Structure 1
Amino acid sequence: MRHSDLSSFLDRQQAKAGPVALVLAEDEVELDSTISHLVKCGFSQVVLLAPDGVQIAESLEPMVHVVRHDVFAEGALVGAVNQAIAALPGTWLHYCHNAEYLFYPFCETRTVREMLAFHAEERREAMLTYVVDLYAGDLGAAPNAVDLSDAWLDRSGYYALARKDPADGWRPRERQLDFYGGLRWRFEEHIPFGKRRIDRISLFKAKRGLKLLPDFTLSEQEMNTYACQWHHNLTAAVCSFRTAKALRTNPGSRHAISTFRWPNSVKFDWHSRQLMDLGLMEPGQWF
């Protein structure tokens, strides 16, 4: 189903159940596979935010709400998510771009609804997701660095720093960290400082007054924590070709990078177990 804008779509959705996935399509690269992955995860609705002319496979049309959106406007994704928060209080939301794939523990056999039901039982209203950079192993065969059949990731090189609170004398915030690694760390000379973090709160329960901020944290600080006060909680990963694609597309970095592979590259096997074994997401108490 196609809609003229996000406001008109949201006006019809207030009584609909979640979880809802919002996909911002910057181009058509792996758009169909992104949508298919979210449908397979079990999202009740997938909303594609796209400019005029973007096409998806005919078989996916019945499963997706295609909403016309200015995807290149300043803060296009954050603005759209905040519209959805205001319109859908009580609904779990996930947001991503095309060529990004949500993975959570045991996602091969359990739906996102089952996972969020367990997470909510632990009195959690948001989930930390790490953005794990994916990249093609052979840039000669895949000049834009996107290749699902030959996807690689970094098995090490990730680290975290204390997140300081400017409103509290720059003291560290409790149970919050800034995470770094992947291509944004290895090729940091091509990445603006404010874009180098790899953590997002990209799964959360909408509530009145809540806002997604430009750095992909939420306005309610407890929702930005990686765990509750009592034990470890579930975390998830967004496996993303977006940084690799940007580094290969931008003129300033395209010719400086002949390969993304290094000694700590491993081939991605598209399974949550690999991400858990590498410490890139946490099953918490969910077994």
Structure 2
Amino acid sequence: MQYDSISKFIQSGTSHLSGGPIALIFIEDDTEIDSTLRHHLDLGFKKVIAFIPSDFVIAADLAKVCPRVTMESVRGDAMQNAIDVIQKTSEGVWFYYCFNAEYLFYPFCETRTIGEMLTFHAGERRDSMLTYVVDLYASDLNQFPNAVALEKALLDRVGYYALARKDPNNNYHPRERQLDFFGGLRWRFEEHIPWKKRKIDRIAVFRAKAGLQLRTDFTFNDEEYNTYACPWHNNLTAAICSFRTAKALKTNPASQSQIDQFKWRNSVPFEWHSRQLLDLGLMEPGQWF
């Protein structure tokens, strides 16, 4: 199940996009590729598709079940363009996207599949889900210089906040049921992060429909998709636990020499369980119990 390009995948691989939910995993480097694919397979996605450079290797057992689409770079507009092209072929299908070394958690994911969760979410007349990107980082950067360590991962227990999202087309009034969220490493090391990249919210779970387009800030051109809840009550949210920012800060020459450790007084071990994220307020179950 290997396709040399996205266009060839669209031509002959769209059978992998039927039904859903479908996970689209975009591979930026060779860090934790297999663990990322396995994690999302374990959540119950019908298909987990890897968009990956041709010279990167996937474990043999994963190669049998995860379609592989050659994509030499996912940077810039490449990922957004790929998602736009793919979702156009599969109206009504639920999709999720992330990068390697990122791991989706939603309330009660240890005992309930992604399909069960999205069936409930769709029943509340929702076509998208807000996710918070929660930074993970190694406990000791001397031992793990790329900041990635699954068994010794930490996260921040405090420091998250939200601001009203202003609408430039409406005199900068706050958008209804939309907020910009901040925190984690992007907050603590903001001097190394361009201001447009400091948000930690991402509409990473969505249902495909005609005319839908992903923006560079991980929101969509349909403003209802960018809301955190319906008008009547709070809805489910999810978290993407991610080493991506930590990796970037420790590989970027402008920042790597200025950061000795990410650990601080408010770091706690990551337990790899949704209960911890719920207790910290980093996602919520809405009306799903």
TM-score normalized with structure 1 length: 0.98
Deviates more, 1:44-53 or 1:235-244: 44-53
The Cα offsets for residues 2-44 of structure 1, whole Å up to 9 and x where unpaired, read as 1011122233326721111111111110000000001000111
**Counterpart-to-counterpart distance in 1, 2:114 and 2:235:** 15
Q: Kindly indicate whether residue 227 of structure 2 is the aligned counterpart of residue 243 of structure 1.
A: no
What is the match of residue 8 of structure 1? Answer: 8
Give the AA of the match of 2:217.
D
Structure 1 residue 70, shift from structure 2 partner:
3.0
**Counterpart-to-counterpart distance in 1, 2:164 and 2:112:** 33
Structure 1 residue 83, shift from structure 2 partner:
1.0
Q: Summarize the alignment of residues 236-275 of structure 1 with structure 2, pairs less than 5 Å apart.
A: 236-275=238-277
What is the match of residue 278 of structure 1? Answer: 280
User: Residues 26 and 74 of structure 2 are in contact (CA less than 8 Å); yes or no, is this contact kept in structure 1?
Assistant: no
Match 1:183 to one of 178, 182, 185: 185
Give the AA of the match of 1:253.
S
What is the match of residue 29 of structure 1? Answer: 31
User: Residues 237 and 283 of structure 2 are in contact (CA less than 8 Å); yes or no, is this contact kept in structure 1?
Assistant: yes
The Cα offsets for residues 96-155 of structure 1, whole Å up to 9 and x where unpaired, read as 000000000000000000000000000000000000000000111110000000000000
Give the AA of the match of 1:102.
L
User: Residues 134 and 152 of structure 1 are in contact (CA less than 8 Å); yes or no, is this contact kept in structure 2?
Assistant: yes
User: Residues 28 and 52 of structure 2 are in contact (CA less than 8 Å); yes or no, is this contact kept in structure 1?
Assistant: yes
Q: Summarize the alignment of residues 48-59 of structure 1 with structure 2, pairs less than 5 Å apart.
A: 48-59=50-61
User: Residues 39 and 63 of structure 1 are in contact (CA less than 8 Å); yes or no, is this contact kept in structure 2?
Assistant: no
What is the match of residue 228 of structure 1? Answer: 230
What is the match of residue 164 of structure 1? Answer: 166
What is the match of residue 74 of structure 1? Answer: 76
Q: Summarize the alignment of residues 78-93 of structure 1 with structure 2, pairs less than 5 Å apart.
A: 78-93=80-95
SS at the partner of 2:10? helix
Q: Summarize the alignment of residues 2-151 of structure 1 with structure 2, pairs less than 5 Å apart.
A: 2-11=2-11, 12-13=13-14, 16-151=18-153
The Cα offsets for residues 34-85 of structure 1, whole Å up to 9 and x where unpaired, read as 0000100011111111111110111111110110113255212111111112
Deviates more, 1:14-23 or 1:60-69: 14-23
**Counterpart-to-counterpart distance in 1, 2:145 and 2:87:** 37
The Cα offsets for residues 159-212 of structure 1, whole Å up to 9 and x where unpaired, read as 111001111111000000000000000000000111000000000000000111
User: Residues 23 and 96 of structure 1 are in contact (CA less than 8 Å); yes or no, is this contact kept in structure 2?
Assistant: yes
**Counterpart-to-counterpart distance in 2, 1:69 and 1:157:** 36
SS at the partner of 1:167? coil
**Counterpart-to-counterpart distance in 1, 2:19 and 2:101:** 26
Give the AA of the match of 1:174.
E
SS at the partner of 2:14? coil
TM-score normalized with structure 2 length: 0.97
**Counterpart-to-counterpart distance in 1, 2:218 and 2:176:** 18
**Counterpart-to-counterpart distance in 1, 2:26 and 2:232:** 35
User: Residues 70 and 76 of structure 1 are in contact (CA less than 8 Å); yes or no, is this contact kept in structure 2?
Assistant: no
SS at the partner of 2:67? strand
User: Residues 156 and 184 of structure 2 are in contact (CA less than 8 Å); yes or no, is this contact kept in structure 1?
Assistant: yes
**Counterpart-to-counterpart distance in 2, 1:10 and 1:200:** 25
SS at the partner of 1:168? coil
Alignment size in residue pairs:
287
User: Residues 93 and 205 of structure 1 are in contact (CA less than 8 Å); yes or no, is this contact kept in structure 2?
Assistant: yes
Q: Which runs of 5+ in 1 are unaligned?
A: none
